[in-house]
Amino acid sequence: MDETQTRKVDIHVPVLARVEGEGALHLRIRGGAIETLTLQIYEPPRLFEKFLEGRSYEEVPDMVARICGICPVAYQISAVNALESLFGVGPGPWVHAMRRVLYCGEWIQSHCLHIHLLAAPDYFGYDSAIAMAHDHPDIVRRGLALQGLGNDIMSLLGARSVHPVGVKVGGFHHAPHPGDVAALLARLRAALPESEALVHWAAGIVVPDDDQAFTCVSMRDATEYPIHRGRVVASDGLAIDASAYDRHFAEYQVEHSTALYSRYRDAPYLVGPLARLNLNRDRLPDAIQQLMHDTGVTWPSRNMFNSMLARAIEVHYAISEAVRLLQDYAPVQEPAVAVTPRAGVGYGWSEAPRGLLWHRYEVDGEGHIVAARIVPPTSQNQARIEEDLRISLQAFGLQHGDDELRLHCEKVIRNYDPCISCATHFLKLKAERL
């Protein structure tokens, strides 16, 4: 057929204004094959790189926390890791443990939001969590309760759950009160059966059988499941320190998007919960490894549709890890060590809920930021998402109508939980059939 058909899906224009972006997918099909497939993702961190220039290192944790309303802790921890490594600061075991707890809170709230409000409705045939809540109120309530628990962990250590302000270069601004810790610890313990039930529930959801080959990239620590310290490894055997990141992972510009893409050895790669689990199962407690085994899924998994289950497993792990770290809690007099800035370049990273988040700061002798670079997980996954969409759409069948194609694309994209996760509920699809 020679005739050009351009069908556009109309998108509801929202009344209430928030200022974040939405995703747009442009698909050109010629002769029954995909000619071009481009995904546009809004990318707030780039704006911040310029914004940080000239600021004092002390301002950085609070400023980068504002990049993302869902994963502020990830931005803070990657930043302090970079700056502390440059300044030669070791904040000690108490700070290490409490940052890990704080980060667990972020994983819990982010993953629960994703599972219950974004991903699960797809698999139960609902067009939204609201529709699902009518029929499965207990599931949604459990999800919201666990999400709230994650928020409360963040409030305990970050003073507030959105844009937390507790973290500073050298440690924390304050140590939580033991009474507050005890109260939260009791709730965390009580939630463990709930999070374990969440894993069983997620494992019971039937997902498409979609085996794909891809390289997994995540942090890896000598003993712990990776959250905020360790090296970075890839499923092909790579193992590097943060300062070597940009020698192995290249960012590049593409014509269709203002976002930067990343590639490793000239190919797309995966970061995020499934990559973490695939590379670090042996760092989980025995009981959780057994739980993973009991799901019936073969690990490591090459099916991106197991991402929702991977998030559920990490929720359960994060709650049990927070319990472990808080059960012998004692406050310290000085929750931070002294910091003396020095000129140079610092590199740091951590495992954001969505995957590896790398920061690089060039700092002058007074501790002012000369240049900042932030590589967020969503942009690292972008090339992989496009690759996955090409494979999945071809397998799904390009003869389907725009609405069906769009729904399928949303499902595929949501596996990566990109920053446009919600917006993909109304993914702008421009399909040209040539």
The two three-digit tokens of residue 229, written as one number: 């310290």
The two three-digit tokens of residue 389, written as one number: 């969409």
Find the binding residues for another protein in span 20-39 (CB under 8 A).
20-22
422 binds another protein (CB under 8 A): yes
Task: Among 148, 208, 300, 344, indicate the residue that binds another protein (CB under 8 A).
Answer: 148
Task: Among 9, 34, 97, 159, indicate the residue that binds another protein (CB under 8 A).
Answer: 159
Task: Among 1, 2, 3, 15, indicate the residue that binds another protein (CB under 8 A).
Answer: 15
The two three-digit tokens of residue 1, written as one number: 């057929």
Find the binding residues for another protein in span 78-97 (CB under 8 A).
none
Q: Which is nearer to another protein, 17 or 213 (CB)?
A: 17
100: three-class secondary structure by DSSP: helix
Q: Which is nearer to another protein, 42 or 299 (CB)?
A: 42
Rg (CA), the chain: 21
247 binds another protein (CB under 8 A): no
- Residues sharing a CB contact under 8 Å with residue 188, sequence separation 6 or more, in sequence order: 149, 153, 319, 322, 323, 326
# of chain residues touching another protein (CB under 8 A): 45
Q: Which is nearer to another protein, 258 or 394 (CB)?
A: 258
User: How far from 25 is each of 133, 160, 409, CA to CA, in Å?
Assistant: 29, 35, 9
Find the binding residues for another protein in span 117-146 (CB under 8 A).
117, 128-131, 133-134, 137, 140-141, 144
- Would you say 143 and 225 are in contact if contact means Cβ atoms under 8 Å apart? no
Window of 29-37, 183-191, 369-377, 419-427 that interacts with another protein by CB under 8 A: 419-427
Task: Tell me which residue of 408, 328, 296 sits closest to 98, measured CA to CA.
Answer: 328
409 binds another protein (CB under 8 A): no
Q: Which is nearer to another protein, 19 or 222 (CB)?
A: 19
Task: Among 426, 430, 432, 433, indicate the residue that binds another protein (CB under 8 A).
Answer: 426
The two three-digit tokens of residue 80, written as one number: 């302090």
User: How far from 339 is each of 32, 71, 99, 361, CA to CA, in Å?
Assistant: 61, 25, 18, 16
Helical packing angle, 137-158 and 72-87, nearest 10°: 30
425 binds another protein (CB under 8 A): yes
Q: Cα(314)–Cα(291) distance, rounded to whole angstroms?
A: 12
Rounded to a whole number of angstroms, the minimum distance from the CB of residue 307 to another protein is 18
Show the binding pattern over residues 161-180: x = contacts another protein (CB under 8 A), - = does not.
xxx-----------------
- Would you say 115 and 146 are in contact if contact means Cβ atoms under 8 Å apart? no
> Which residues on neighbouring strands pair with residue 233, listed in sequence order?
218, 239
372 binds another protein (CB under 8 A): no
Q: Cα(192)–Cα(86) distance, rounded to whole angstroms?
A: 38
Only one residue has tokens 């702008």, namely 428
Window of 184-192, 329-337, 385-393, 417-425 that interacts with another protein by CB under 8 A: 417-425
Show the binding pattern over residues 41-80: x = contacts another protein (CB under 8 A), - = does not.
-x----x---x--------------x-xxx----------
Q: Which is nearer to another protein, 229 or 414 (CB)?
A: 414
Alpha helices in 136-210 (DSSP H): 137-158, 178-203
Q: Cα(135)–Cα(362) distance, rounded to whole angstroms?
A: 53
Q: Cα(379)–Cα(271) distance, rounded to whole angstroms?
A: 10
Q: Cα(51)–Cα(372) distance, rounded to whole angstroms?
A: 9
Show the binding pattern over residues 274-313: x = contacts another protein (CB under 8 A), - = does not.
----------------------------------------
Q: Cα(43)–Cα(111) distance, rounded to whole angstroms?
A: 20
Q: Which is nearer to another protein, 117 or 232 (CB)?
A: 117
Rounded to a whole number of angstroms, the minimum distance from the CB of residue 160 to another protein is 5
12 binds another protein (CB under 8 A): yes
Rounded to a whole number of angstroms, the minimum distance from the CB of residue 121 to another protein is 11
Binding residues (CB under 8 A) for another protein: these are 12, 14-22, 42, 47, 51, 66, 68-70, 113, 117, 128-131, 133-134, 137, 140-141, 144, 147-148, 151, 155, 159-163, 419-423, 425-426
